[in-house]
């Protein structure tokens, strides 16, 4: 039954473009307004209407005006709730859509920024198979996190998402389709195991520990510390003697990662290996550079450099 309904819905979308006109991609911001908000009673709403009909007939049959008044009150409240439902979506604005970094195969977390001039409750967002709900406080922006499954690296368009609500009574369901013209960049998946990059061996051995010039910390005096390292001024306020400790940032090995050196592999395997190396370099805080066909990233380090490199990998054809 469910499958049949889904097929029917797909057919309807194909045949009746007007109903899903806004499936076309739009640029942000997208504001919901009356021409793109649809509203129908829910199953419970239909059931409740039938119940009210029974109550109406009963009240009329027994010529019981008080019961009739109550039934009318309930009916009018239900109808009024329809307007509230509509108003819960009307004027809602999807201002921004940001994506976190994600590796292919893992869900990417999207952050939707909704702007609203008034308070809203129970607004739900469906994206693919994930659902979430949020309440907007009234002034300003509400950020909604929703995760989107990813399959492969590269630019992945954000699918259309449905914003809907059954607030306040669950009798009516208003919805609107949003299809923001936005894509998220999915990073390649790193291979699980593989060889280490060809290390510049000589350079690695040369590193030795020695005292540097930069003041790193103060520590208690130990026998044998040179006298000129004692911090006299600070020690005056302290029980024992304090000694200035000097250190020199340890030089890290630098990895020059190169596409051309990975011969004998297809391009996806090369990308996977480079991704792993990049990850390891970042974790071990090495400096690294990356050469890719058509793109060369110079030596650097730090998270931003890592992001640039991964983005470059993800964008490879």
Partner 1 sequence: MTSASIPSRHAPVSTRTFDLLSLTTGMVLGVHVQHLPWWLGAMLLVLLAARWWQRRQHGGRVSRWIKFPLLLLLTLAIAGTYGSIFGREPGTALGVGLLVLKLLETETARDVRVGVGFACFALMSALLFGQAMTTTVIVALGLLPALATLRALEPAQAPTSLPCALLPGLLLLAAALPLTLLAFVLVPRLSSPLWGAPSPDQARTGLSDSMSPGNFTELLTDDSPALRVSFDGAPPPPDLRYFRAYVMWNYDGRRWQRVRGNGYPPAPIEAVSSISYRVTLEPSKQRMLPALDVPLNAPADASLRTDHELIADKPVTTPFSYTLRSALRYHLQPELDARSRQLGLRLPPGFNPRTHALADQWRQRYGTDDAAIVRAGLTLLHDGGFRYTLTPAPLGRDAVDDFLFNTREGFCEHYASSFTVLMRSAGIPARVVTGYQGGYWNQLGNYLLVRNSDAHAWTEVWLAGRGWVRADPTGAVRPERVTLGAAAAIGDERGWYHSDWLQGLRNHWDIVNRWWNRGVVGFDALRQRGLLTPFGVRDTDTRLLGILIAISSGLFMGLGLAWALWRRQRHDVLRETLRVLERKLARRGIVRRRGEGPQRYLARAARALPAQRATLAQLSTNYLQLRYAQDEPPPEPLRAFRRAVRDFQAARVVK
Exactly one of 41, 107, 122, 149 binds partner 1 (CB under 8 A); which one?
122
- CA angle 170/172/174 to nearest 5° reads 115
Closer of 128 and 133 to partner 1 (Cβ): 133
Q: Is 71 in the site for partner 1 (CB under 8 A)?
A: yes
From 167-175, 202-210, 216-224, 266-274, span contacting partner 1 (CB under 8 A) = 167-175
Q: Is 27 in the site for partner 1 (CB under 8 A)?
A: no
Closer of 91 and 279 to partner 1 (Cβ): 91
Q: Is 81 in the site for partner 1 (CB under 8 A)?
A: yes
Q: Is 91 in the site for partner 1 (CB under 8 A)?
A: yes
Distance CA 108, CA 100 (A): 6
Q: Is 22 in the site for partner 1 (CB under 8 A)?
A: no
Q: Is 95 in the site for partner 1 (CB under 8 A)?
A: no
Distance CA 82, CA 39 (A): 8
Residues 140-159 that bind partner 1 (CB under 8 A): 142-145
Residues 6+ apart with CB under 8 A from 310: 101, 187, 188, 275, 278
Exactly one of 67, 103, 231, 312 binds partner 1 (CB under 8 A); which one?
67
3-state secondary structure of 241: coil
From 22-30, 50-58, 178-186, 307-315, span contacting partner 1 (CB under 8 A) = 50-58
Residues 6+ apart with CB under 8 A from 274: 257, 259, 262, 290, 292, 313
Exactly one of 16, 46, 57, 216 binds partner 1 (CB under 8 A); which one?
57
- Nearest CA to 258 out of 287, 283, 293, 305 is that of 293
Q: Is 73 in the site for partner 1 (CB under 8 A)?
A: yes
| Rounded alpha-carbon distances, angstroms, from residue 90 to 25, 167, 291 | 20, 13, 50
Exactly one of 77, 216, 234, 269 binds partner 1 (CB under 8 A); which one?
77
Q: Is 48 in the site for partner 1 (CB under 8 A)?
A: yes
Distance CA 98, CA 109 (A): 9
Enter the DSSP assignment of 29.
Answer: P
- Nearest CA to 122 out of 92, 160, 153, 154 is that of 92
From 127-135, 197-205, 229-237, 307-315, span contacting partner 1 (CB under 8 A) = 127-135
Task: Work out the end-to-end distance of the chain between its first and last CA atoms, rounded to an integer number of angstroms.
Answer: 42
Exactly one of 79, 199, 218, 265 binds partner 1 (CB under 8 A); which one?
79
Contact 103, 187 (CB under 8 A): yes
Exactly one of 5, 66, 196, 236 binds partner 1 (CB under 8 A); which one?
66
Residues found near partner 1 in the complex (CB under 8 A)? 34, 44, 47-48, 51, 54-77, 79-81, 83-84, 86-87, 90-91, 117, 119, 121-124, 131-137, 142-145, 166-171
């Amino acid at each position: 039954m469910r499958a049949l309904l889904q097929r029917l819905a797909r057919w309807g979308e194909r045949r009746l473009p007007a109903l899903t006109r806004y499936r076309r991609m739009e640029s942000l911001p997208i504001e919901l307004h009356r021409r793109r908000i649809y509203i129908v009673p829910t199953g419970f709403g239909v059931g409740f209407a039938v119940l009210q009909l029974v109550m109406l007939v009963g009240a009329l049959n027994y010529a019981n005006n008080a019961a009739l008044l109550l039934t009318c009150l309930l009916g009018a409240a239900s109808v009024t709730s329809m307007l509230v439902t509509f108003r819960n979506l009307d004027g809602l604005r999807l201002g921004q859509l940001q994506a976190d970094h994600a590796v292919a195969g893992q869900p990417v977390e999207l952050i939707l920024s909704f702007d609203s001039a008034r308070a809203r409750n129970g607004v739900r967002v469906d994206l693919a198979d994930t659902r979430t709900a949020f309440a907007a406080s009234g002034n300003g922006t509400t950020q909604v996190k929703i995760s989107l499954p990813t399959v492969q690296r590269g630019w992945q368009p954000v699918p259309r998402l449905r914003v809907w609500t059954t607030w306040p009574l669950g009798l009516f369901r208003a919805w609107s389709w949003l299809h923001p013209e936005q894509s998220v960049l999915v990073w390649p998946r790193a291979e699980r195991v593989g060889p280490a990059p060809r290390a510049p061996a000589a350079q690695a051995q040369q590193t030795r520990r020695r005292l540097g010039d930069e003041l790193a910390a103060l520590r208690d005096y130990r026998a044998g510390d040179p006298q000129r390292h004692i911090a006299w001024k600070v020690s005056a306020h302290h029980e024992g003697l304090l000694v200035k400790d000097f250190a020199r940032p340890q030089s890290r090995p630098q990895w020059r990662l190169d596409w051309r050196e990975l011969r004998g592999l297809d391009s996806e395997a090369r990308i996977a290996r480079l991704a792993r190396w990049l990850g390891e370099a970042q974790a071990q805080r090495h400096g690294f550079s990356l050469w890719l066909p058509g793109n060369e990233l110079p030596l650097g380090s730090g998270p931003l450099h890592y992001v640039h490199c991964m983005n470059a990998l993800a964008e490879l054809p």
